[in-house]
Amino acid sequence: MRLKSTLENYLFVLPAVAIFSIFYIYPFLQVFILGMYDWDGISIARTFVGLRNFKEIIFQDPVWWHSMLQAGWITLIALTFQNALAFLLAWACDREIRLKNFYRLVFFIPPVLSEVVVGLVWQWILEGNYGLLNHWLVQLGLPQLVRNWLSDPKTALNCVAIVHCWKGFGWGFLIFLAGLQTIPRELYEAARVDGANAWACFRKITLPLMVPVAVLVGILTVLGTMQAFVLIIAMTAGGPAYHTQVPVLRILASMRGSSRFGYACAQGITFGVVLVAVSFIQYRFSKKSQARGA
Amino acid sequence: MNNIKYPFSSLLLVTVFCLVSFGLGGCGPKNEVPGKKVVTVWHWMTDREAVLVSLADKYEASTGVKIDFELYAPSEAYAQKVRAAAQGSNLPDIFGVLGEKRDFAAYIKAGHIADLTGYMEENNQDWEKRFFSKALAVNEFAEGNAYGVKPGIYGVPIDIMTIMLLYNKDIFREMGLDPERPPATWEEFLIIGKKLKETNRQGLVSGWGEIWMIDCLANDFAFNIMGKDKVLATIRGEVPYTDPDWVRVFALFKEMQDAGLLYNGLISMVNKTAEQLFANGKAAFAFNGSWCVNVYKEMNPDLKYGAFLPPRVSDKFTVSVWGGAGSSFMVYDKSKNKEEAIKFLKWLTDKEQQALLAQETRNLPANKESIGKISPILAQFSSAMEYSTHPSIWGVSEFSPVIEAFDKGIQSIIIGEKTPEQIAQEVQKVKERELAKKR
């Protein structure tokens, strides 16, 4: 009887486990296994090379690590600029201001737009000869600032980062707003009764209670930004030279450009490991901060 | 909760059903019409879809064989689809291989592509003789080829292309230049660049953000400066990229930039943008393939332009341009409809169908008997076929990381980040690394 009951229980979770295994675990294992082969993605024969692909990525592929650093830079800008903006706007919309529902809607428009469309529109705005930004700069009497924003190695990566932040801050805004709305209003009322001003309420109530939400937004930002590539393809295609290359573009280049599927799989695994490690460190760090705060 | 009777057998059934459904879901149904032969063709040519479908209808009416054209675009997605289908041995009867000769060879060696040599040679080489030899060469593997493929013809060219420089005749006229005389030498080209700069006009546009077009022009110059043999020797690893001739090739891009010949922002430009700019008279020159005739016609029917060979840098060797088969179709070797597929391709490359394709899509036909019915601008592109070359017919392939370092390096030269000498050294370093790996 107990055996039957146990089997029944397992049977209930079997569909979920099976689907998870087929669509997540099996492909992951396959990618890892392929990462140990030299394979062009077409031939039937694959040459087993062990960990050679991983060794090449780590020690002989400077472009890969350069692209990782560039993705890291975009992520840093997103973590600071994008999330600060998202938090401030969410905080403003959480207060009793006029047209707050309208603002909530407007701030969530960029994330729902297609990345290709956003990339192409911004490419047009930032174009060096007929672009809107340069036109405005000239109109404002700042012709010395006019440049070819996406072809200049000094500005291309930052332009991509800013557009990425503009496109993505709506998600952070939404999560921060949801977090702010879960803070009991009584806490603020009690604090005010005790004589706390707005700044004190923000520092002593809002900020500490928003730490878990900020951690979540931070992890999602890191994962989302490190993997960004559609916007970059639409804006710069990874150029000029290697100045806006990011890891996913390198994986695509290995797959499509070089037909090195095995190497691309190894790059994917390496990238995944880096992302998991960064997220784990971020999580541990925030846990420690929370414990210290408590 | 304990009183609930678990529907054990039903649950098991549902689970098995779900798994089977998921398992079979990926296997797409084949287009089958009862009692009728259906030949399935996968293609990526959005601009040719309508005329291909109309030709399919015509073929069905005359033979009773249905041709099912399935369009998958853009070309990157198409290439992925074909690759995935090859893995599952689920390719259609007719398809195209987009990629380098190395990829083409891999499909053949995996047994996916039929050897058409016998069919081409039937009836005193009737089919083979229809085509421009260079169009066929792209689909051919010669004796002793570096890819280890059995010698033969493995693809059918549908149209041909050449990639040339173009100039805007109205801009030439406005600058006081002869609109019927494009620059023939490097010096003339640079002088025009200076004139463009003085009159605040923009020069050359091209899809140099999608780096392969840089490679194309650079190789044109390389063939002119050092000749085919030395270029191929470099690919084989016998001549380094630090050779003065290669440094000269790199330096040409710096000279073009310094002379004001390159459009501001050219290196992050996709070809579609370049086509729009040239069609709208915003740029004096373009570097584009013969497919552009159709594109410019759609964008600006009044555009007055001409095509010319890259200006001569050296008198030692002839000028070359990339050209050959534009699009080719291959027959799936394991197809049940192989014979029907080959019959259809023979029909599609007949003079009449080729002429219709050329007229409707403004592409150069692969059948040389249909070339008489093309427009004057297409005739200019067609005349460049005698100067054409293509990596697919060189018999050797450069390593992809070297090609990337080469093209990205030229981008760095154009933005003034690195010198031609630095890039030559960097490319050679990548080359040596790849050669060491191969060893």
pLDDT digit string, tens, across residues B186-233: 999 999 999 999 999 999 999 998 788 999 999 999 999 999 999 999
Q: How far is B12 from chain A (nearest CA, A)?
A: 7
Residue B116 lies in a domain: yes
Say if CB B358 and CB B348 are below 8 A apart.
Answer: no
CATH code of the domain in which B241 resides: 3.40.190.10
A137 pLDDT above the threshold of 60: yes
Q: B87 and B224 share a domain?
A: no
Same domain, yes or no, for B328 and B311? no
Q: How far is CA A246 from CA A13, A53, A201, A267, in A?
A: 39, 19, 41, 12
Nearest CA to A90 among A78, A107, A75, A76? A107
Same domain, B294 and B417: yes
Q: Same structural domain for residues B154 and B75?
A: yes
Query: How many Å apart are CA A225 and CA A81, to the nearest integer?
Result: 13
Are B157 and B188 contained in the same domain?
A: no
Distance CA B299, CA A179 (A): 51
Same domain, B155 and B180: no
Q: What is the pLDDT of residue A226?
A: 94
Nearest to B159 by CA among B414, B363, B438, B14: B363
Collapsed DSSP state (helix, strand, coil) of residue B300: coil
In terms of domains, do B210 and B311 share one? yes
Strand ranges inside B173-320, DSSP E: 204-205, 285-289, 305-308
The answer as to whether B389 is a domain residue is no
Residue B284 lies in a domain: yes
For chain A, where are the alpha helices, taking DSSP H only? 2-20, 26-34, 52-60, 62-77, 83-94, 100-107, 109-112, 115-126, 132-139, 156-181, 185-193, 198-201, 207-226, 230-235, 247-252, 261-293
Q: What is the mean pLDDT of chain B?
A: 89
ipTM: 0.81
Q: Where are the beta strands (DSSP E) in B92-203?
A: 94-95, 140-141, 152-153, 156-168
User: In angstroms, rounded to a whole number, what is the distance separating the alpha carbons of residues B160 and A93?
Assistant: 60
Q: Which residue of A has its CA nearest to B17?
A: A15
Residues spanned by the domain of B304 = 162-323+396-438
Taking CB atoms and an 8 Å cutoff, what residues of chain A touch B22?
19, 22
Question: A4 to chain B: which residues are within 8 Å by CB?
Answer: 8
Which residue in B has a C-alpha nearest to residue A4's C-alpha?
B8
Look up tokens 């603002």; give the residue.
A103
pLDDT at B28: 44
- How many pairs of residues across A and B have Cβ atoms under 8 Å apart? 105
Judge if B191 and B251 occupy the same domain. yes
Tell me, yes or no, whether B269 and B206 share the same domain: yes
Window 102-161 of B, Cβ < 8 Å to A: 102-103, 106-107, 109-112
Same domain, B190 and B303: yes
Q: Strand pairing partners for B72? A: none
Between the alpha carbon of residue A35 and those of residues A112, A255, B277, the distances in Å are 34, 12, 43
- Provide the domain count of chain B: 2
| Secondary structure class of A148 (helix, strand, coil) | coil
Q: Among B310, B302, B342, which residue's Cα sits nearest to residue B122?
A: B342
Distance CA B382, CA B374 (A): 9
Domains and CATH numbers, chain A: 62-293 (1.10.3720.10)
Position B9 in a domain: no
**B316 and B181, same structural domain?**
yes
- Amino acid in position B417: E
Residues B261 and B289 placed together within one structural domain of the fold:
yes
pLDDT for residue B321 is more than 60: yes
The answer to whether position B27 is within a domain reads: no
pTM over 0.80: yes
Q: How does pLDDT run across B260-292, given as a tens digit for each residue? A: 999 988 988 888 889 999 999 999 999 999 989
Residue B373 has pLDDT above 80, yes or no: no
**What is the sign, positive or negative, of the torsion defined by CA atoms of B121, B127, B131, B136?**
negative
